[in-house]
Amino acid sequence: MKDTVRKPAVAATQVAPEPDPTDYRLIADFRSALREFQSVSAQILKHAGVTGLQYHALVEIRVFRDRHAADISVGQLAIQMRLRHNTAVSLIDGLETQGCVQRARSAKDNRVKDIRLTPKGALTLRQLAAEHRQQLGHMHATFTAIFAR
């Protein structure tokens, strides 16, 4: 997996050039739009009784399955979500208690537990993804206007 943390464009000892005032507005508008989406997302997830991390895990489990035609391991999920292994285990424990995922021994390595969505988890994910997609549709014009600058 590629590291997404970028190095600063300007070394800490150098002074960065002054951005154009429109750059500040672009950054402010983008961050505001992100906060709006996150706020609506939090409401959607709260109503469904799912945390943001649980939703992220459900999405990652589904995406991994779609990409690799295989179940994801706890270790792979931890890497994808940039979590410690024990945090991923606790997250999966909660999803398993809710009946959204199940663990099974890996066919390739008996020491590894793979995670798959249950029918309840797949339905929960489908509903939440549809609501998030609808919200993204509402925000499309906002993001288009921001990036058209």
Report the CATH number at residue 95. 1.10.10.10
- Which token pair is 93? 């424990």
Please tell me the distance from the alpha carbon of residue 117 to that of residue 76, in angstroms, as a whole number: 15
Place of tokens 């590291």: 3
The answer to whether residue 33 sits within a structural domain is: no
The answer to whether residue 9 sits within a structural domain is: no
**Per-residue pLDDT tens over the stretch 48-96:** 999 999 999 999 999 999 999 999 999 999 999 999 999 999 999 999 9
Reported pTM: 0.82
Q: Which domain holds residue 73?
A: 51-147
- How many separate domains does the chain show? 1
**Per-residue pLDDT tens over the stretch 3-58:** 566 666 666 678 888 888 888 998 999 999 999 999 999 999 999 999 999 999 99
